[in-house]
Amino acid sequence: MDGAHMKKNLLLICTGVILITILLSGCQEESNNTEQETKTVFLDSNLVQLIHGNLTFNLDNGIVKSASVEYLFKNLLDRQLELNVSAEFYDKNDNLLETVGTKDIVLPAFYEEQGISPLTNIITYDGLNASDVEYVKLIVEEKE
């Protein structure tokens, strides 16, 4: 009976090692995004301050499929703002590739956004020239 018990324990240990190996092998996947810091995201506004801006290239098998800009604003005014936000995507020669948007956001007086929401804080350009994007200019206009 001791031999059968040892075989059962050995089988359990081997099964555990195989399962752990399989689980850990999935942790070595390649990233599908490359990121560029705030220096590639610009904003010229008297209404809001850009407190976070990030340009991300979304890859599929190493090929750029789209460029996304994420952003967080701080309302600089002592009143609620209802804004339209769009993004102009430019290449390295300062040629406008595309204007994408418009996202509608509401910011209470002096409010500072805290978290990224795909519905309001990310704009994506998925055109043919997405791999040529060098920088993004955010356009913020108050709704009339």
Question: How does pLDDT run across 111-141, given as a tens digit for each residue?
Answer: 999 988 888 899 999 988 999 999 999 999 9
Mean pLDDT over all residues of the chain? Answer: 83
The reply to whether 10 and 44 lie within a common domain is: no
Ramachandran assignment for 62, one of left (phi > 0), alpha (psi -120 to 50 degrees), beta (any other): left
Q: Which helix (H) or strand (E) holds 137?
A: strand 135-142
The answer, yes or no, to whether residue 29 has pLDDT greater than 50, is: no
93 plus 47 within the same structural domain: yes
Quote the domain boundaries for residue 103: 33-142
Q: Tell me: pLDDT of 49 over 90.
A: yes
CATH number of the structural domain spanning residue 109 = 2.60.40.3230
Q: 44 and 23, same structural domain?
A: no
What is the reported pLDDT for 86?
95
Asked if residue 135 lies in contact with residue 56, where contact means CB atoms within 8 angstroms, the answer is no
Count of domains observed in the chain:
2
* Average pLDDT score over residue span 27-42: 55
Note whether 63 and 122 are same-domain residues: yes
Same domain for 43 and 25, yes or no, is no
Residues 133 and 68 placed together within one structural domain of the fold: yes
Q: What is the pLDDT of residue 117?
A: 84
| Residue, of 18 and 65, whose pLDDT is higher | 65
Burial call 8-22: b when 16+ CB within 10 Å, e when fewer: eeeeeeeeeeeeeee
CA distance 87 to 139: 6
Both 59 and 12 in one domain: the answer is: no
